[in-house]
Chains A and B, each alone.
Chain A
Amino acid sequence: MKEIISYAHIKHNQVSVNGEVVFQSNSSLTLIEFLSEAYKNLGASYPKFHKMDAQCKLGFLCAEFALKGTNFLTENNLSKTAIVLSNCASSLETDRVHQHSIDDKSNYFPSPAVFVYTLPNITIGELAIKHKITGENAFFVSEQLDADLLVNYTETLFQGNTKAAIVGWVEVDGANFEAFIFLTENTENINKSSIFKPLNKTSVITIYNQTIWTH
């Protein structure tokens, strides 16, 4: 049986884990300031974090919060762990930064460190590098969180070699941002907590709407 074992949701300058707000910052902070505060709160030490673009930072943090306190990475074969992410704006925010750097021909200094993030699936790459995950991966672009698509695709992967997956939505477009990531694994024959939910569209929509944001 495939179950969702943990999930995290970031929006409104707050982080929730399994439906409970675990971190919130001043709502006036910019996205980058908020991400920096959330990173400190997480207590992570990963210098490469500071080099990531906003979308990768957001996806990285959301995944870290979902993973924290679980045995997901140690109990699963990372070569059989998939990463399936999605969003609406693709890499538009970083595309804009890159475009800005090449607008003025007399001040033309495109940054290689920015340019490498002008693809949305780099967020998957950052997670894969951090945790040495080498399984299947896919990044979908859809107008909004498409629970049907994510569940169906992940189910398809489970029919192959995949035994676990990190799945979700990581969106940054200007000041608007949101990340929602859940961890799912094949829990057959393993006695797991009753709080876990079966991997299906209803569960995904339920946990996506579960958090009561404080502002």
Chain B
Amino acid sequence: MDALIEKLKGQIIEQLNLAEVKPEEIKPDSPLFGEGLGLDSIDALELIVLLEKHYGIKIQDPKDGKTIFQSLRTMAEYIKSQGKS
């Protein structure tokens, strides 16, 4: 799980152009939206694309994103649950 979380950090920084964010600054359990990384609605769409592009996972219902994208850990757990890590 830790390796997947580390991998996700790099992919998120690249996909979302978070040029001023270092991987170590993204905590596994910190919220990705709001007070965490401060991501916005476009970033949420980019995360959906990221899952499809890198892990072949299609989120059928965008409402599920709220749970899946709570934190790095919830993202990693979701990817694992889909057998795609």
Q: Which residues of A contact B (CB under 8 A)?
A: 45, 47, 50-51, 109-113, 116
Task: Select from chain B the residue with minimum beta-carbon distance to A48.
Answer: B40
A45 to B21: give the CA distance in the assembly, Å. Answer: 12
Answer whether A50 and B43 are a contact pair too, CB < 8 Å, given A109-B49, A109-B52, A112-B49: no
Any A CB within 8 A of the CB of B19 = yes
A45 to B20: give the CA distance in the assembly, Å. Answer: 9
Nearest CB on B from A125, distance (A): 13
User: How many inter-chain contacts with C-beta < 8 Å in the A-B complex?
Assistant: 29
Question: In the bound complex, do residue B45 and residue A47 qualify as a contact, i.e. CB atoms below 8 Å apart?
Answer: no
Chain B residues, CB < 8 A from A111 = 46, 49
Chain A residues, CB < 8 A from B59 = none
Name 14 A/B residue pairs within 8 A (Cβ), A-sorted. A47-B20, A47-B21, A47-B38, A50-B17, A51-B17, A109-B49, A109-B52, A110-B49, A111-B49, A112-B42, A112-B49, A113-B17, A113-B45, A116-B42
Task: Select from chain A the residue with minimum beta-carbon distance to B52.
Answer: A109
Chain A residues, CB < 8 A from B20 = 45, 47, 50
